[in-house]
Amino acid sequence: MRRRLLFAFSILIAALGPAALGSTAVDRAFDLAELRLERPALEALVGSARADFEIVGASLELSRMGLDAVLAEQIVALDRLEEVEGDLRAARARFDDGIEQLYIRGGTAALTVVMFFDDPTDAGIATHYLEALNDSETDSLGDIEELLPVMDELKYTAFDAVELAEADYAERERAFLLAAGHLSELESELARLNVRIDRLTTEWREYRLGLVEDVLQATGATGVLAEVTVEQGALRASLPLGPTIGIPPGLESTGRVLSGVASWYGPGFHGRRASSGAIFDERDFTVAHKTLAHGTLLLVTFGDKQAVVMVNDRGPFIEGRSFDLSKAAAQYLGVGLNRIRAEVLVAAP
């Protein structure tokens, strides 16, 4: 009768779930899992921003080269413009002298030019006025008409082209500075994220190494038992065991998936020797299984929570149960006596 009561009591305890463990370290481990999940997305953003920055930088360099070329052409154009302006002034003077002589001769065309045209060269458009001009006057008018488009082209090269090139360079420079600022901001954010990940990784590892020291001191273990415990504890601390979101970095799936009812254990077994040869610690993320090799890593999923655990013990030895989670793992996942999914993982090459 007493045995039946004890068995019933153990079933009740398993169904109710483990008691609270002091959740600070586990909470930080879950924060670490969230940050590890954020990092690839942020790294992708940084990569995209860096690619944009390089494209904008290349565009700015091309614009700068174009501006340098335009400025070099400006120097030549300004020298040439000075010459053309001198030639144009001389041609205009010759034309004005011709018009004046034509007016003195009594030509009505000259009077029309003087009265109705602000620019005497516009008279060249009216071909019937040319009949009143002699060869020297028409030659000077022809010189003017030839020089004007040359001067316009030189002015464009000397002033307008430079203004357009400078505006293009300024616009691309603004885009470059914006891209540089965006990239710098994302790189700083990634750097801060990496610092937090490194800090939490270190804290989580030190916490779990501290568990080994605690259990050794509490049990007074010596000799081979202590050596195996330290060795297994260091191994577990070096692995991404604990709360996770998906498969953590450094591990990959074998494609093998197990499922079955999981219970948990801890009280009465904490500090005792596990079948792996090390002292069992209910505060670490481990699991007992009947056949899986010691050291096997499992991604355990229950509801919306996941954790990576390592097989380090044999059990459970109650019919119908497939896994016996440590108290810490069960507490985090919320497992009392429930069916779980376990995916076998291995270290990524």
Mean pLDDT calculated for residue range 155-159? 89
> What pLDDT, on a 0 to 100 scale, did the predictor assign at position 41?
95
| Whether residue 137 has pLDDT greater than 80 | no
Q: What is the DSSP code (8-state) at residue 234? A: H
7-21, 137-151, 244-258: which range is least confident on average? Answer: 7-21
Residue 46 lies in a domain: no
65-74, 95-104, 330-339: which range is least confident on average? Answer: 95-104
Does 181 lie in the same domain as 226?
Answer: no
Does 172 lie in the same domain as 230?
Answer: no
User: What is the pLDDT confidence band of residue 138, given thresholds at 50, 70 and 90?
Assistant: low
Those residues with Cβ within 8 angstroms of residue 239's Cβ, 6 or more apart along the chain or in another chain: 250, 297, 308, 310
Residue 118 lies in a domain: yes
Among 166, 186, 206, give the residue marking a domain's end: 186
User: What is the pLDDT confidence band of residue 91, given thresholds at 50, 70 and 90?
Assistant: confident
Average pLDDT score over the chain: 86
Does 233 lie in the same domain as 161?
Answer: no
Closest CA to 242 of 271, 205, 274: 205
| Whether residue 258 has pLDDT greater than 90 | yes
Number of H helices, E strands in the chain: 7, 7
Kindly provide the b/e burial profile for residues 77-110, where b requires at least 16 CB atoms within 10 angstroms of the residue's own CB. Answer: beebbeebeebbeebbebbeebbeebeeeebebb
> What pLDDT, on a 0 to 100 scale, did the predictor assign at position 291?
97
> What pLDDT, on a 0 to 100 scale, did the predictor assign at position 84?
87
> What pLDDT, on a 0 to 100 scale, did the predictor assign at position 188?
98
User: What is the pLDDT confidence band of residue 105, given thresholds at 50, 70 and 90?
Assistant: low
Does 232 lie in the same domain as 182?
Answer: no
Cα–Cα distance measured from residue 97 to residue 101, given in angstroms and rounded to the nearest whole number: 6
26-40, 127-141, 158-172, 178-192: which range is least confident on average? Answer: 127-141
Does 237 lie in the same domain as 180?
Answer: no
* Residue 55's CATH number: 1.10.287.620
Does 246 lie in the same domain as 159?
Answer: no
| Whether residue 265 has pLDDT greater than 70 | yes
Mean pLDDT calculated for residue range 167-187? 97
Among 137, 164, 186, give the residue marking a domain's end: 186
Does 181 lie in the same domain as 56?
Answer: yes
Total domain count, the chain: 2
CA distances from 286 to 221, 230, 243, 279, 309 (A): 20, 15, 12, 12, 5
11-20, 258-267, 287-296, 324-333: which range is least confident on average? Answer: 11-20
> What pLDDT, on a 0 to 100 scale, did the predictor assign at position 88?
84
Residue 334 lies in a domain: yes
Residue 282 lies in a domain: yes
User: What is the pLDDT confidence band of residue 71, given thresholds at 50, 70 and 90?
Assistant: very high
Residue 59 lies in a domain: yes
Among 186, 208, 238, give the residue marking a domain's end: 186
Does 243 lie in the same domain as 180?
Answer: no
Cα–Cα distance measured from residue 314 to residue 321, given in angstroms and rounded to the nearest whole number: 12
User: What is the pLDDT confidence band of residue 43, given thresholds at 50, 70 and 90?
Assistant: very high
Does 243 lie in the same domain as 168?
Answer: no
| Whether residue 14 has pLDDT greater than 70 | no
Mean pLDDT calculated for residue range 166-185? 97
| Whether residue 99 has pLDDT greater than 90 | no
Those residues with Cβ within 8 angstroms of residue 43's Cβ, 6 or more apart along the chain or in another chain: 190
For residue 244, give the H/E element and its range: strand 242-244
Does 55 lie in the same domain as 181?
Answer: yes
Neighbours of 222 (CB within 10 A): 9
Does 174 lie in the same domain as 231?
Answer: no
Residue with the two structure tokens 């921003």: 49
Is the pTM higher than 0.85? The answer reads: no
Domain extent, residue 157, equals: 51-186
Q: Report the SS3 class of residue 262.
A: strand
CB half-sphere exposure, 130, CA atoms < 13 A: 13
> What pLDDT, on a 0 to 100 scale, did the predictor assign at position 239?
95
> What pLDDT, on a 0 to 100 scale, did the predictor assign at position 126?
44
Those residues with Cβ within 8 angstroms of residue 121's Cβ, 6 or more apart along the chain or in another chain: 92, 95, 141, 144, 145, 148
Residue 102 phi/psi, 5° resolution?
-65, -40
Does 226 lie in the same domain as 182?
Answer: no
> What pLDDT, on a 0 to 100 scale, did the predictor assign at position 56?
97
Residue 252 lies in a domain: yes
For residue 241, give the H/E element and its range: none
Residue 199 lies in a domain: no
Which comes out higher in pLDDT, residue 113 or 169?
169
* Residue 334's CATH number: 2.40.40.10
Residue 39 lies in a domain: no
> What pLDDT, on a 0 to 100 scale, did the predictor assign at position 1?
37
